[in-house]
A = this chain, B = another copy of it.
Amino acid sequence: MALIVQKFGGTSVGSIERIEQVAEKVKKHREAGDDLVVVLSAMSGETNRLIDLAKQITDQPVPRELDVIVSTGEQVTIALLTMALIKRGVPAVSYTGNQVRILTDSSHNKARILQIDDQKIRADLKEGRVVVVAGFQGVDEHGSITTLGRGGSDTTGVALAAALKADECQIYTDVDGVYTTDPRVVPQAQRLEKITFEEMLEMASLGSKVLQIRSVEFAGKYNVPLRVLHSFKEGPGTLITIDEEESMEQPIISGIAFNRDEAKLTIRGVPDTPGVAFKILGPISASNIEVDMIVQNVAHDNTTDFTFTVHRNEYEKAQNVLENTAREIGAREVIGDTKIAKVSIVGVGMRSHAGVASRMFEALAKESINIQMISTSEIKVSVVIEEKYLELAVRALHTAFELDAPARQGE
């Protein structure tokens, strides 16, 4: 008999009909003998509806009060699912974040979980009840309601699984697992049976939207086996876990991630003096703009070019800051480009295989795709290319790293 935490997102509980379906699913699992803790999001659209209400009062809602409103979304779904379970003869009880006592810090709208009291839940499980917990919310030491920020329900699931030392945390979504890449771009993309936390983190941070980064970090930190499954289709999904055995068959690359969220800024003709990187990036970070990739070219005629990427939403803001800096330090010009894309290959296998990057560059060169920037980490290589080549690049890499092959299934 295992202890499983199951998390269902907003679309999975988006209507009464779907809540009934989730209840059926939970009932079947329960009857199979597992102890179950179910974490729910608000009905899809509900959180936005609640935020809109607040925005009608003020553009800048007080964070504490916004949490009071927004947390009602999950409060409704947990009670509805609990009713649906009890109707089916499955003993169940609902808890808000406050009732469990999911203690968080006081950073309203983006709180972090500090501690979870597992006493009530353990007592209920012992009594044979399914425990239905509101995701995304907690309570601070003053008794104020907090929310964990968007996607926080995944984090609640993982944190509960860690606190309860659950055997698995299952995240039910609208996809049936993690794929080698986005199947809308590469039809031959395949579901992965397994992926490591590290890889999943890279995939998520690079734009694969199956799981929230924070929940994967959390799961990795506490070594909670995480499984991504489809809410309404049967199937094993993808297990995200530690890299237990470095099997021979392990592929070099697990997946290909990409995003169109970034924009590129270059400051040209910068006098090449020590500390120039700080002079350029200091004002950017002081403006709360996050920088992703950074490249500084070799100096030439005592001047250098400096390029970095930011989120597209912050492109104009960054450009303004950079133009001020250019005037101050006597740089020649600032140029920018929003029509870029980032493509990354990810895999723990590349640790033990040399030449992965050059194989990537070769594949892109074959398609005459020019690489504008490169950045590497232990388990990924990212390149920035012109946006229009994005799909072509992803397909070429998917083939080059033999991810198309059906032989990979059931590895």
Shortest CB distance A138–B (Å): 14
Which residues from 62 to 85 on chain A have a C-beta closer than 8 Å to any C-beta of chain B?
A: 62, 64-66, 68-69, 71-72, 75-76, 78-80, 82-84
Given contacts A62-B86, A99-B143, A143-B99, contact A16 B68 (CB under 8 A): no
Question: Which residues of chain B have C-beta atoms less than 8 A from A352's C-beta?
Answer: none
Given contacts A16-B57, A58-B87, A76-B72, contact A82 B98 (CB under 8 A): no
Contact in complex: A75, B68 (CB < 8 Å): yes
Residue A19 CB within 8 A of the other chain: yes
Contact in complex: B66, A53 (CB < 8 Å): no
Contact in complex: A57, B72 (CB < 8 Å): no
Residue A104 CB within 8 A of the other chain: no
Given contacts A56-B16, A99-B143, contact A75 B69 (CB under 8 A): yes
Q: Which residues of A line the B interface, CB within 8 A? A: 16, 19-20, 50, 53-54, 56-58, 61-62, 64-66, 68-69, 71-72, 75-76, 78-80, 82-84, 86-87, 93-94, 96, 98-99, 143-145
Question: Which residues of chain B have C-beta atoms less than 8 A from A53's C-beta?
Answer: 16, 76, 80
Given contacts A54-B80, A69-B76, 9 further A-B contacts (CB under 8 A): A16-B56, A57-B87, A58-B84, A62-B83, A65-B82, A68-B75, A68-B94, A69-B75, A72-B72
Contact in complex: A57, B20 (CB < 8 Å): yes
Question: Which residues of chain B have C-beta atoms less than 8 A from A98's C-beta?
Answer: 98
Pairs of residues from A and B, 7 with the lowest C-beta to C-beta distance, nearest first: A72-B72, A68-B79, A65-B79, A69-B79, A16-B56, A58-B87, A57-B83
Of the A-B pairs whose beta carbons lie under 8 Å apart in the complex, a sample of 12, sorted by A's number, is A57-B80, A57-B84, A57-B87, A58-B83, A61-B83, A62-B86, A66-B83, A68-B78, A68-B82, A68-B94, A68-B96, A71-B75
Q: Determine the residue in chain B with the shortest Cβ distance to A82.
A: B65
Contact in complex: B76, A80 (CB < 8 Å): no
Which of B19, B75, B94 touches A57 (beta carbons < 8 Å)?
Answer: B19
Shortest CB distance A307–B (Å): 43
